[in-house]
């Protein structure tokens, strides 16, 4: 997507989303307390790291040994709603304006996760990570990590303004109506990867 076009969309969405962000911040504050934001280092384009900000949607509850409880046990009804509507991602609009992220692209992952992907991790990192992406509108939580990687690699090779606009439109549908696994997209990505990547590429099974 053209960078100027991306900035204009980001500014437009940011203006519309600002009142919603304030409401979401209030909900998180009442529901979970402070801090409102969750910060974490993620891997960006070409493996360059940056700090990502999201609204906090997890409690800090731990078991007797001090280990954090599973994610599902640390969420509340409000935080589940905030995540479902993608309100926790709104602060990342600032990172898009700064050029650290894109509106559309593979979601930013932990640096160690990218390293584990090996060569496919390098290929995935050829573009800026996105606020939303092809795997997010093709099943997201209903997909395995390997399936997401296949979809992300397909996107990197096929990205275009038309595809990005389609993903943005479908992201709205996912937020409103929920996630739906799209096996036909995974099949397309698998066929493409089998034809274009070495069979022994790390992170993707043959």
Q: Which residues pair with 40 in a beta bridge?
A: 52
Query: Inter-axis angle of helices 145-158 and 183-196, to 10 degrees?
Result: 70
Measuring CA to CA, which residue among 17, 3, 205 is closest to residue 96? Answer: 3
In this structure, the strands spanning 49-55 and 130-132 are unpaired
| pLDDT reported for residue 71 | 78
Neighbouring CB atoms inside 10 A of 133's CB total 27
Sign of CA dihedral 75, 71, 101, 131: negative
Q: What is the pTM of this model?
A: 0.86
Return the domain boundaries, the chain: 3-196
Residue spans of the chain under pLDDT 70: 198-206
50-78 per-position pLDDT tens digit = 999 999 998 888 888 878 888 788 888 99
Residue 137 burial (CB < 10 Å; 0-12/13-18/19+)? buried
25-39 per-position pLDDT tens digit = 999 999 988 999 999
């Amino acid at each position: 997507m053209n960078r100027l076009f991306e900035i204009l969309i980001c500014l437009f969405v940011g203006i519309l989303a600002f009142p919603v962000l304030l409401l979401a911040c209030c909900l998180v504050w009442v529901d979970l307390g402070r801090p409102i934001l969750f910060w974490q280092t993620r891997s960006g384009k070409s493996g360059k790291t940056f700090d990502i900000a999201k609204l906090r949607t997890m409690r800090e509850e731990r078991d007797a040994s001090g280990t954090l409880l599973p994610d599902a046990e640390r969420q509340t009804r409000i935080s589940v709603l905030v995540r479902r509507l993608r309100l926790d991602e709104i602060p990342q609009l600032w990172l898009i304006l700064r050029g650290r992220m894109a509106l559309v692209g593979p979601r930013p992952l932990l640096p160690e996760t990218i390293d584990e992907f090996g060569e496919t991790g390098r290929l995935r990192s050829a573009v800026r990570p996105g606020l939303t992406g092809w795997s997010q509108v093709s099943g997201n939580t209903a997909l395995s990590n390997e399936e997401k990687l296949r979809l992300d690699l397909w996107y990197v090779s096929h990205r275009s303004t038309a595809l990005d606009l389609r993903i943005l439109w479908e992201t709205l549908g996912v937020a409103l109506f929920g996630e739906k696994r799209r096996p036909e997209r995974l099949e397309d990505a698998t066929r493409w990867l089998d034809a274009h990547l070495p069979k022994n590429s790390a992170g993707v099974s043959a």
